[in-house]
Structure 1
Amino acid sequence: MSWSDRRQILAGLAAVGLLAGCGFQPAYAPGQSGDSLRGQILPKAASNKQSFIFVDRIEDRLGRNDAAPYQLNYSMNLSSEGLAKTPSNSTYRYHLKGRLTYSVVDRNTNEVLTSGMVRNFTGYSAIGTTVATRASQTDARERLMILMADEVVSRLYATAPSWLP
């Protein structure tokens, strides 16, 4: 074993010790927030294709339960801007930005338990046929919705201990 390998092992062991000392708890461990959120949140109904993809991903990660005690409300805004332009002003690459605000509401009392905002982006190419560009744009929108849904779920896992009973 070389010296560099030993240093990496020692650094890894030190990191584990530091995490244990700071009160780190894995979210997916039995009885933790990842386990206790399963089937507890019902997302607001989807109104378009982007929100359908978002809701589908949320339900994939947290489960679907029509009788869930909490509701996830959300509002999203998407925008697109051209990035790579030619001297003739043709755009070859687009930057798709998304901003999503969310809140978790108790369905019995309508009390807002937690809220926040996530932002993310993807890009797509506009080189090729109209069909290829449209397919790239559709794929970028789907990827953006999945990225934002995953970020919302991560934030819910992180904040759940403060608002779950």
Structure 2
Amino acid sequence: MGTIATAAIGGLSGCGFQPLNARQDDGGSVSANLSTVRIEPLRDRVGQQMHNFLRDRLNPQGQPVSPSYRLAVQLTESLSELGVRRDETATRANLRIDAKFSLFDFGGGEALFSGSSSSTTSYDILENPFATTVSEEDARDRALGEVADDIQTRLSIYFSST
């Protein structure tokens, strides 16, 4: 069984497959490139949360001292209520986070890479307003985390292909 797995993995290298975080031909790595990205400040509390999620994923050692790139992100949040009772009060809600992002050379003005990402999470609207607020904040954290993961993955793919 081990021989078959080894042969299968060996076969993947023949087709050009390589791990996303492997060293590149120029000696650098995707994680080294990600660590040189400065994340532009975002406004309001949700923007601060997104900034922190992205910083944790791209710059786990802290903001770069001499960045090579800068990342600009624009967030929009929408809320739609679902599951309406007979008295027309909602019992469930969807929270959607949309992000448009652009990667720039730190000194340049033209975007090197742009994209968008979104996530929709649901939560219950409960009788207790505090419990509903906690549920909504948890849904927001999950959505922001998913969007940050997607942005990191897409930037990693960009860096691995350049």
Secondary structure in 1 matching 2:135: helix
In structure 2, distance between residues paired with 1:35 and 1:54: 19
AA at the equivalent of 2:44: N
The answer as to whether partners of 1:75 and 1:102 remain within 8 angstroms in 2 is: yes
1:23 aligns with 2:16: yes
Tell me the residue number matched to 2:160: 161
| Identity within the alignment, % | 26
What is the correspondence of 1:93-132 to structure 2 with a 5 Å cutoff?
93-132=92-131
Give the unaligned 5+ runs of structure 1.
Answer: 1-7
1:44 aligns with 2:37: no
Secondary structure in 2 matching 1:25: coil
In structure 2, distance between residues paired with 1:94 and 1:15: 45
Secondary structure in 2 matching 1:28: coil
In structure 2, distance between residues paired with 1:136 and 1:38: 32
TM-score (norm 1): 0.83
Q: CA deviation at 1:16?
A: 3.3
Tell me the residue number matched to 2:147: 148
TM-score (norm 2): 0.84
Q: CA deviation at 1:18?
A: 5.3
AA at the equivalent of 1:109: G
AA at the equivalent of 2:96: K
In structure 1, distance between residues paired with 2:69 and 2:126: 44
1:89 aligns with 2:85: no
Counterparts in 2 of 1:39 and 1:83: CA distance versus 1, 3 Å: same
Paired positions, count: 156
Tell me the residue number matched to 2:135: 136
Q: CA deviation at 1:157?
A: 0.4
Counterparts in 2 of 1:150 and 1:9: CA distance versus 1, 3 Å: same
> More displaced, 34-43 or 146-155?
34-43
Provide the alpha-carbon RMSD of the alignment: 2.2
